Amino acid sequence: MNLKDAIRTIPNHPKPGVMFRDITTLLGDARAFRTAVDRIVQPYAGVRIDKVAGIEARGFILGGAVAHQLSVGFVPVRKKGKLPWRTIAQDYELEYGIDIMEMHVDAVQPEENVLIVDDLIATGGTAIAAVKLIERLGARPAGASFIIDLPELGGMEKLHALGLQAQALCAFEGH
């Protein structure tokens, strides 16, 4: 199954010149959703994964399904101020400024292997913030998986430069 066929492209959203890759159509197609989850899980068959960290917001949907498939716990990585208990924070660069991602201080334990999941990797800012949060809590990022890579923006290269095993199920040119 070609997952790109299940992803809707919305031109000029959220701003002119951007081609928004909308996975809600993939999520609404049971076969495509199952295929995506299976393909994310497959490289980790036989690998010790203790938790899946999903990045807000579509990473929650995918990460929950991946965690279920791997029979491990799920950890939300959220924007600042959204988690209800004590957190650690990590800033990351946006196109025009800085934002902050947070995790609960007890979300992962030292020496746990954590798989990071999100729908899309662009510049890599949120994924790198998740890596840093996981490492600061003493756990190990075991890899990162995405449905979509936007290779022109260089995020996947940045993850590989950190020594992280990272994969995307498909790639789209442009922004």
Q: Give the active site residues.
A: 58, 95
- Sorted by where each begins, the domain ranges of the chain are 48-171
- Rounded mean pLDDT, 109-120: 98
- Rounded mean pLDDT, 119-140: 97
- Please say if the pLDDT value at position 127 is more than 90: yes
- Rounded mean pLDDT, 113-133: 97
Q: What is the pLDDT of residues 18-43, one digit of tens each?
A: 999 999 999 999 999 999 999 999 99
Picking from 114, 108, 163, the residue whose alpha carbon sits closest to that of residue 137 is 108
- Percent of the chain exceeding pLDDT 70 equals 99
The reported pLDDT for the residue numbered 98 is 92
Q: Tokens 């095993």 — which residue? A: 165
Architecture of the 48-171 domain: 3-Layer(aba) Sandwich (3.40)
State pTM to two decimals: 0.96
- Please say if the pLDDT value at position 174 is more than 90: no
The reported pLDDT for the residue numbered 95 is 67
Q: What is the pLDDT of residues 71-100, one digit of tens each?
A: 999 999 999 999 999 999 999 987 678 999
